[in-house]
Structure 1
Amino acid sequence: LDDVSNFSKGSGFSKGDLRKDGQPVILYGRMYTRYETVIKDVDTFVAPDSKGVFSQGGEVIVPGSGESAEDISRASVVTNSGVLLGGDINIIEPGSELNSEFLALSISNGQQRKELVKRAQGKSVVHLHNSDLQKVVLKIPSKDEQRKISKFIEKIEFAIV
């Protein structure tokens, strides 16, 4: 994955920073309770901040901490720009040969997920770092095939909900 993506981290916001309105923010804990593979609507806010890490749209985010290795091996795509990305979030900016939704689905499922579960470190709190994500081996079909796979899975997820 390191050959076809760039990596960074979110910056520190916590539940104590939340307010009723303001700048949309994604906190890593909400990735377990609220968000699915594609994040279109953000319902948590903080005071406007120009120093945070803002989404550009299309980033794949992976929590940096969780309760178990299985839980932490999940990814979501932030579709909108201008969303603050809170601390303890690993950010992957896919290169031009990768569809963001396909990448998030690949990280969250199959062999790539198994690979990340093995790399997650810790006992009561498990951690996953960008250095772990960079080592993921990914089979990349054509961009058109990635898009078709992503749309097919999205239809299935929509039908289940």
Structure 2
Amino acid sequence: MARDLNVTRTFVVSGSELHERFSRSSGPGGQGVNTADTRVELSLDVAHSPSIPETLRYRMLCRLRGRLVDGVLTVTASEHRTQLQNREAARERMAKLLRDAAAAPPPTRRPTRPTRGSKERRIAEKKRRGQTKQGRRAGWDAS
């Protein structure tokens, strides 16, 4: 049985909801590459998971919609040589995705106006720049 996945202090996904699948990794690996199933696919049914509170479910489904297949989020890991390390990498990747998807939306930006001082500085800089350019074209003689 898989361990529970701690996403945040208050948000924990039950280990029974996580489904692991193992297969052979691609790429170089020596003699053991054709016999060891080190690649890990970790899946979680986000749409029907009882561990995900209803208040977060819609937000998570919206934010993860590009990665979901029928409401199921799948993460793969095959960068390590051992199955155990790939299992940990997949769990960390899954927790980060869920944490980012469950995060509260950023506060809405209140539009502000530029201060009088910043407007004056901007205009003064424009005038200075214009005088510099005017000085470049005025004194040149073509003969």
**What TM-score, normalized to structure 2?**
0.30
Higher relative contact order (CA 8 A, sep 6+): 1
Higher share in helix: 2
Larger Rg computed on CA atoms: 2
